[in-house]
């Protein structure tokens, strides 16, 4: 009997993800009034959906442990690339008001460029210059979008 082995790691992780979300939503929804079928409160539908998702999660998990399941490992993660890309977006949000569009775009482009394994300083700087000029021309002057262009110090 090798019944309870996780043969399909990928599917197992998917099921676990579904189950985790289901539990989170169900537990949170417990604090909202459920009401009855005829007069549903704000908590009724979320609980219903969370139960459905939990059931799906369990089916997926069991499927991953079936002895007939196709063995499948989890894929390798590139956390560095993810961190550079996500980090540059967060920095853009954080710096847009203090530094203005030009500064925030500069940081966004320089930081995100690091995610490429072919990164060069000159390439990234050139790219930043071209893109900032393009964005100013299109979004600020062309379309008149409300964006803080300069650092807040100058306002």
Partner 1 sequence: MDLFHNLAIGFATAAQPANLLYAFFGCLLGTLIGVLPGLGPLATIAMLLPITYALPPDAALIMLAGIYYGAQYGGSTTAIVVNLPGESSSVVTTIDGYQMAKQGRAGVALATAAIGSFFAGCVATLAIAALAGPLTATALLFGPKEFFALMILGLILASVLSSGPFIEGIGMVVLGMLLSLVGTDLNSGSQRFAFGVPQLFDGLDFVPLAMGIFGFAEIVKNLEQDDKLSLVTQKITNLFPTRDDFRRMVPAMLRGTTLGTLLGVLPGGGAVLSSFASYTLEKKLSRHPEQFGKGAIEGVAGPESANNAGAQTSFIPLLTLGVPSNVVMALMVGAMNIHNIHPGPEVMTKNPTLFWGLIASMWIGNLMLLVLNLPLVGLWVKLLTIPYRYLFPAIMVFCSIGVYSINSGTFEVYEAAVFCVFGYVLIKLQLPAAPLLLGLVLGPAIEENFRRAMVLSRGDVTALLTSPLSASLLAAAAIAVLLIMLPTIRARREEALQE
The CA-CA-CA angle for residues 95, 96, 98, to 5°, reads: 65
| Residue 25 token pair | 């939503």
Binding residues for partner 1, rule CB under 8 A, total 70
Smallest Cα–Cα separation from 126: which of 111, 141, 106? Answer: 106
Give the residue, chosen from 6, 67, 93, 98, that forms a contact with partner 1 under the rule CB under 8 A: 93
When the beta carbons of 65 and 85 are compared against partner 1, the nearer one is 85
User: Mind giving me the DSSP string for 100-147?
Assistant: HHHHHHHHHHHHHHTTSTT--HHHHHHHHHHHHHHHIIIIIIIS----
Residues that bind partner 1 (CB under 8 A): 10-11, 13-14, 17-18, 21, 25, 28-29, 32-33, 36-42, 44-46, 49-50, 52-53, 56-57, 59-60, 63, 74-75, 77-78, 81-82, 85-86, 88-90, 92-94, 96-97, 105, 108-109, 112-113, 115-119, 123-124, 127-128, 131, 135, 138-139, 143-147
């Amino acid at each position: 009997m090798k019944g309870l082995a996780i043969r399909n790691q990928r599917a197992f992780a998917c099921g676990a993800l579904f189950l985790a979300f289901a539990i989170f939503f169900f537990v949170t929804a417990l604090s909202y009034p459920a009401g009855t079928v005829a007069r549903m409160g704000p908590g009724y539908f979320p609980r219903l959906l969370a139960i459905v998702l939990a059931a799906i999660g369990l089916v997926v998990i069991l499927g991953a442990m079936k002895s007939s399941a196709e063995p499948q490992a989890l894929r390798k993660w590139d956390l560095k690339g993810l961190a550079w890309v996500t980090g540059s977006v967060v920095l853009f949000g954080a710096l847009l008001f203090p530094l203005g569009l030009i500064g925030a775009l500069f940081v966004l482009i320089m930081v995100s460029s690091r995610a490429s394994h072919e990164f060069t300083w000159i390439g990234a700087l050139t790219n930043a210059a071209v893109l900032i000029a393009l964005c100013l021309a299109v979004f600020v002057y062309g379309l008149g979008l409300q964006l803080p262009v300069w650092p807040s110090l100058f306002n």
